[in-house]
Amino acid sequence: MRNLRYFMSGARLLIVLGFLSLIGSIILAYTNNFTPLPWSPSVVILAGIIGFVGFVSLGSALILFDTSWATRLNRHMAHSTPDRDSIVRVVKSDVAKRKEYFVYGAPEEIVREVVENDWPFKGKLKSKDWYVIDSRENDVSDKIYSEVEGTLKVVFE
């Protein structure tokens, strides 16, 4: 499910621009046979290859960093339509006060397993001891996911 929620519109755009610059330079060099250019065709193709490598490198870096230059949202904050058998809850952290994340899980799973499987926080926080509370400050870590309502909060000890 997490693979469907990657938010990479900026990376896709850069990679497409890379291919377009390469194709455009090849077409421009080919048209040199019909309309003479002020540049050598090899210079045009070299510029297209450099543009291609540059755009694809930037797009790959955006995919690697798991974000998009077109928006400040990361993949856990990007909305997507869940599967029919999934429940979506908003999860906050007591460490990162302002950020809210979407967590997707099956109705019969335990809340702790759902948050652990779809961990939205930095990896180093996962190794700490933590538990999940609901909006009434009740510990719901061991409850069934479908029985929990409202915004959840992960508390680190």
In this structure, what CATH number is given to the domain that contains residue 98?
Answer: 3.10.20.90
Structural domain of residue 27, as residue ranges? 2-64
Contact 140, 152 (CB under 8 A): yes
Residue 143 lies in a domain: yes
Distance CA 100, CA 119 (A): 12
Residue 78 lies in a domain: no
Residue 109 lies in a domain: yes
Res 71: pLDDT: 46
Tokens describing residue 74: 């990361």
Residue 74 lies in a domain: no
Res 3: pLDDT: 41
148 and 91: one domain? yes
Counted domains in the chain: 2
Q: Where are the alpha helices (DSSP H) in 72-148?
A: 111-117, 123-126
Residue 75 lies in a domain: no
Radius of gyration of the chain (CA): 23
Give kind and range of the element (H or E) at residue 103.
strand 100-105
Res 21: pLDDT: 93
Residue 10 lies in a domain: yes
104 and 56: one domain? no
- Confirm whether pTM is higher than 0.85: no
107 and 145: one domain? yes
Query: Per residue in 16-37, is it b (16+ CB within 10 Å) or e — as a string?
Result: ebbeebbebbeebbeeeeeeee
Q: How many Å is the maximal CA-CA distance in the chain?
A: 76
Average pLDDT, the chain: 78
Residue 49 lies in a domain: yes
98 and 50: one domain? no
pLDDT band at 19 (very low <50, low <70, confident <90, very high): very high
